[in-house]
Amino acid sequence: MKSVFLMQWERLRRAPFMVGSFFILTILFVSVLGGLGAEYKLAVYTYSDETLSEQEVDVWLEKLNVSDAIEFQLMAEAEARAAVARGDVTIALQLLANDYRLLVAVDDPNRYIIENYVQQLYTEELRLKGIEEQGAGARFRADVERSMNDPVLSLVSMSIQGENSVQFNNQIHVLFGMTLYFSIFTILFSLTRVVEEKRVGTWDRLILSPLRKWQIYLGHLVYCFLIGYAQITIIFLIFKYGFGFDLGDRFGTILVIIGCFTFAIVALGMLIMGLVRTTQQLQAVIPIVSTAMAMLGGAYWPIEIVTNKIMLAASKATPIFYGLEALRDVVFQNKGLLALAEPLSILLLFGVICMGVGINLMERR
Amino acid sequence: MGTFLKKDILVLLRDRAELYILLLMPLILIIILGFALGGLLGGNTTAIQMQVAIVQEDDEQLGIDEFVETLIQLEIPEDRIQQLELVANQISPNTILTTMFQSDEFSDIVKTVDMTSSAAEQALKAGEITAILTIPENFTYRALQKTLLGEGGGSSLQVKVDETGSFRARVFHDIIDSFVHTFNFEAALHQSLGRQGEGELTISSDISHELGGIETVSRAKPVSSFQYYTIGMAVMFVLYVSTTIASKAYVEKQQHVFNRILLANKHPFVYLGGKFISGMIIAIFQLLILFTITSLIFEPLGDQTPNFLLGMFAISVVLATSVGAFAALLTAISVRFDNQGVINIFSGGVVSIFAFLGGSFFPTSGLHPIISQLGTWTPNGAALSAYIQWMQGLPLEFIISPLTRIAVLSILLLVVSFLIFPRRRSV
């Protein structure tokens, strides 16, 4: 086993191109995503026509730009229309005398955030104006503002998470998802060596050698496991120390989760290799299987926004779903290993089944 | 070159498994995305559903009675008390809240269950409910006291969620937050009017007037999420054609087909040119088949006028050139360095990143602006925006610029691949 294992490292040393590129690509991509940060304002191009004077437009803009999350930028109508048409932005706002219009090209979830915000602001403003027109005094507006600063009701938000837990953050979710997703490629493509060896004939020579079958398999599998494990761990370390993401206090638990996930993917690789014969077909199958799994398992978006029952059931068949769930629970809910028994044991079970079926299929040929 | 083309296409047609993957997988993913996410990304909030526990510690009627009691103690004239009692009944926040919960709009999203505090805590821990809304003791009394008399500290609603910031928790929090804000605003109006002696004004629980509206950049409807994902997946999967072509080329190199071609006194560039054109042709077919099938089975991509179809075809051809160019580049690199790693990196890493940047998974407008900027320079991102603009019925000049970007990129890739590809002697 050791010799087969060491041979893989020797191969990596001689031809580090592929694995190295995957490492670098993933780190670059995830770093760009993580490094850019989530703290930027959603820009909404804003324009108006002759019905509003410049002064009125300025007043509206000032009111609109109170929000921390959205920035309304004034520009010429033609420019804003062109930007929406080109797809630079998905939405633009047209200010009218006592009304507004949203200009859209593609349905976009942000539209509803913007719409709610603008609607609330307009409604309040128009009510204030209406009352002022009925002859309320000049101090009326200031008076309302003062009352608003001392509100009748307030809202207290809490969560059941422990003291040490981290606030859920969609960006961390996407980073987790992307890291796991890319690691699948590294692991599966490294495993294609087995198919390659069978094609070239070295596999037969290894079988003739005193080595046992399981030793040959184990040599390959341990190598792929370590490569995948290293990739995920390094990226998580970069998050933690490079970008200062708060990954909670349980890094040890995270390491265990990475181990279970990597094992499941290595096993999945064995299954795929049992089903697919040539390297060329593998090259077509691997990206497609990984991408489909990532989509179903919620690597690109939180799985909770998926409501279709069939899709939810399908998501439970992907290891990435359990990996992400476990990571989320550790980081955001500060759960320990025992509390994670369910997703982790499913990952291990998934791995054992895939491995068993996969090796059987490979040996049958 | 004709024979090379025929060979490339025959080789692909004989490998059925790969052909199915190229054609069927995008279809499956379009269906996954269209159905799984369509509702929500399309803004259909009924797609989100959650259970929320209401812990009612407030006794509304008692609160109103106590309030009247206070009024009597303050020795306010009788008719004024009656008036205030009427207003109190109308604006009691607890009633408004309950009315809101029962409205169709709201009950489509949130199912409320009345629970005791401890039962609710348990249910939240068990993950049966998304959030607990606690209406504290004396809520009605304190709110009325502050709104109508300007005394006391008001009251507060309490929302407890399982995971702060998770999607559902945020939606629920926003709903309650918006309720609190609206109530405060109306109460502020009321107080100010009262101070200025304008008389009483009823606080309406329904403040949504006919405001706003949606306009599209052209007369067409906004592009639906199903249409969006059809295009998004198609422009992503068309990139896999290039890796398929290139990996076939690598096999030809290994099986010495390439060397025999050279021995037959053909210029190697003709071989590479063949890869470029066959990649392009297969890409065009893939796009056309995908668009036709989804249009027939699900939702047409636009009005089927000849002009529209011609435009879609033109965009597909330009996109296909870039696919052909990628096929040529990958062929050149893998043949030159005798290594198929680059093909794996492209199919595994680069295509995914392109797809992400180009907005194939979701529109990048919600991410950092730099990401969408980068996306416009990926062939799939540029093609996606060209298709969408054309589907919106925008004039030709709009799609010229993304198409130019794709064309420039294709030419660059082609030049590089011809530079890299081994000449006669180096093989």
Q: Nearest CB to A22: which of B32, B49, B349?
A: B349
- CA B386 to CA B358: how far, in whole Å? 12
Say if residues B400 and A86 touch (Cβ distance below 8 Å). Answer: no
- CA B35 to CA B294: how far, in whole Å? 13
- CA B177 to CA B155: how far, in whole Å? 14
The whole-angstrom distance between A355's CA and the closest CA on chain B is 23
Q: Please choose, from the candidates B157, B280, B168, B302, the residue with its C-alpha nearest in 3D space to the C-alpha of residue B226.
A: B302
Q: Does B426 score more than 60 pLDDT?
A: no
Q: Does A162 score more than 60 pLDDT?
A: no
C-alpha distances out from residue A135 to A37, A140, B198, B331, Å = 49, 10, 9, 78
Q: Does B197 score more than 80 pLDDT?
A: no
Q: Do B164 and A168 touch (CB under 8 A)?
A: yes
- CA B366 to CA A38: how far, in whole Å? 10
The predicted pLDDT at position B179 comes to 87
Q: Does B43 score more than 50 pLDDT?
A: no
The predicted pLDDT at position B220 comes to 66
Q: Is A138 on the interface with B (CB under 8 A)?
A: no
The whole-angstrom distance between A210's CA and the closest CA on chain B is 30
Q: Do B211 and A99 touch (CB under 8 A)?
A: yes
User: Beta strand pairing status for B110-114 and B50-56?
Assistant: parallel
Backbone angles phi, psi at A95, to 5 degrees: -90, 130
Give the HSE-up count for residue B37: Cα atoms under 13 Å, Cβ half-sphere.
26
The predicted pLDDT at position B208 comes to 45
User: Pick the residue with more confidence: A333 or B405?
Assistant: B405
The predicted pLDDT at position B200 comes to 46
The whole-angstrom distance between B62's CA and the closest CA on chain A is 19
The predicted pLDDT at position B264 comes to 85
- CA B33 to CA B56: how far, in whole Å? 40
Over range A217-238, report the average pLDDT: 92
Q: Does B169 score more than 90 pLDDT?
A: no
Q: Does B280 score more than 60 pLDDT?
A: yes
Of A156-165, B296-305, B410-419, the poorest mean pLDDT is in A156-165
The predicted pLDDT at position A136 comes to 64
Residues 51-80 of A with CB under 8 A from B: none
Question: What single DSSP character describes residue A65?
Answer: T
Q: Which residues of A17-36 are buried (b: 16+ CB within 10 A; e: fewer)?
A: ebbebbbebbbebbbebbee
Q: Is A287 on the interface with B (CB under 8 A)?
A: yes
The predicted pLDDT at position B202 comes to 45
Confidence of residue B67 (pLDDT cuts 50, 70, 90): confident
Mean pLDDT of chain A: 83
Q: Give the tokens for residue A92.
A: 């633009």
What are all long-range contacts of A31-37, with beta carbons under 8 Å and residues at least 24 apart?
A31/A238, A31/A242, A31/A243, A32/B370, A32/B371, A33/A171, A33/A174, A33/A175, A33/A178, A33/B371, A34/A171, A34/A175, A34/A239, A34/A243, A34/A245, A35/A243, A36/B367, A36/B368, A36/B370, A36/B371, A37/A171, A37/B368
Q: Does B313 score more than 70 pLDDT?
A: yes
Q: Do A168 and B215 touch (CB under 8 A)?
A: no
Q: Do A106 and B184 touch (CB under 8 A)?
A: no
Q: Does B42 score more than 50 pLDDT?
A: no
Q: Is A27 on the interface with B (CB under 8 A)?
A: no
The predicted pLDDT at position B201 comes to 47
Across the beta sheet with A100-104, what order do the strands follow? A70-74, A42-48, A91-95, A100-104, B214-216
User: Pick the residue with more confidence: A318 or B372?
Assistant: A318
Length of chain B: 427
The whole-angstrom distance between B267's CA and the closest CA on chain A is 26
User: Beta strand pairing status for A42-48 and A70-74?
Assistant: parallel
The predicted pLDDT at position B214 comes to 74
Over range B69-88, report the average pLDDT: 83
Length of chain A: 365
Q: Do B366 and A110 touch (CB under 8 A)?
A: yes
Q: Do B167 and A81 touch (CB under 8 A)?
A: no
The whole-angstrom distance between A348's CA and the closest CA on chain B is 24
The predicted pLDDT at position B28 comes to 79
Of A108-117, A123-132, A346-355, B135-144, the poorest mean pLDDT is in A108-117
The highest-confidence range among A97-101, B168-172, B307-311, by mean pLDDT, is B307-311
Q: Does B256 score more than 60 pLDDT?
A: yes
Residues 105-124 of A with CB under 8 A from B: 105-112, 115-116, 118-120, 122-124
Q: Which residues of A touch B153 (CB under 8 A)?
A: none
CB atoms within 10 A of CB A70: 18
The predicted pLDDT at position A221 comes to 93
pLDDT, tens only, B400-413:
989 999 999 999 99
Q: Please choose, from the candidates A348, A187, A207, A179, the residue with its C-alpha nearest in 3D space to the C-alpha of residue A282.
A: A187
User: Pick the residue with more confidence: A307 or A242?
Assistant: A242
Q: Do B341 and A18 touch (CB under 8 A)?
A: yes
pLDDT, tens only, A17-62:
888 888 888 888 877 776 665 555 677 888 887 778 888 888 888 8
The predicted pLDDT at position B333 comes to 92
Indicate the pTM of the whole model: 0.78
Confidence of residue A225 (pLDDT cuts 50, 70, 90): very high
User: Counting Cβ atoms within 10 Å, is residue B317 exposed (0-12), middle (13-18) or buried (19+)?
Assistant: middle
Q: Does B82 score more than 90 pLDDT?
A: no
Q: Is A333 on the interface with B (CB under 8 A)?
A: yes
The highest-confidence range among A63-72, B21-30, B344-353, by mean pLDDT, is B344-353
The predicted pLDDT at position B233 comes to 87
The predicted pLDDT at position B218 comes to 67
Mean pLDDT of chain B: 82
C-alpha distances out from residue A293 to A286, A347, A348, B303, Å = 10, 14, 17, 34
Q: Give the tokens for residue A180.
A: 């796991």
Q: Which residue of B has its CA nearest to A334?
A: B163
Percent with pLDDT over 70 in chain A: 90
pLDDT, tens only, A63-117:
888 877 788 888 888 888 888 877 777 788 888 877 888 888 776 666 777 888 8
Give the HSE-up count for residue A100: Cα atoms under 13 Å, Cβ half-sphere.
27
Q: Is the ipTM of this complex over 0.95?
A: no
User: Beta strand pairing status for B155-161 and B131-135?
Assistant: antiparallel
Q: Please choose, from the candidates B263, B2, B44, the residue with its C-alpha nearest in 3D space to the C-alpha of residue A107.
A: B44
Confidence of residue B211 (pLDDT cuts 50, 70, 90): low
**Is the four-CA dihedral B154, B158, B159, B163 of positive or negative sign?**
positive
Q: Do A118 and B212 touch (CB under 8 A)?
A: yes
The whole-angstrom distance between A147's CA and the closest CA on chain B is 5
The predicted pLDDT at position A48 comes to 86
The predicted pLDDT at position B210 comes to 61
C-alpha distances out from residue A82 to A72, A94, A201, Å = 17, 14, 60
Q: Nearest CB to A152: which of B187, B350, B365?
A: B187
The predicted pLDDT at position B37 comes to 61
**Is the four-CA dihedral B67, B68, B69, B70 of positive or negative sign?**
positive
Q: Does B341 score more than 60 pLDDT?
A: yes
Q: Which residue of A has its CA nearest to B43?
A: A109
The predicted pLDDT at position A164 comes to 45
Of A102-116, A184-198, A229-243, the poorest mean pLDDT is in A102-116
The predicted pLDDT at position A306 comes to 67
Q: Do B184 and A151 touch (CB under 8 A)?
A: yes
Over range B208-232, report the average pLDDT: 72
Q: Which residues of B touch A276 (CB under 8 A)?
A: 17
The predicted pLDDT at position A229 comes to 95
Say if residues A292 and A270 touch (Cβ distance below 8 Å). Answer: no
Three-class SS state of B205: coil
C-alpha distances out from residue B410 to B304, B324, B345, B377, Å = 29, 8, 19, 11
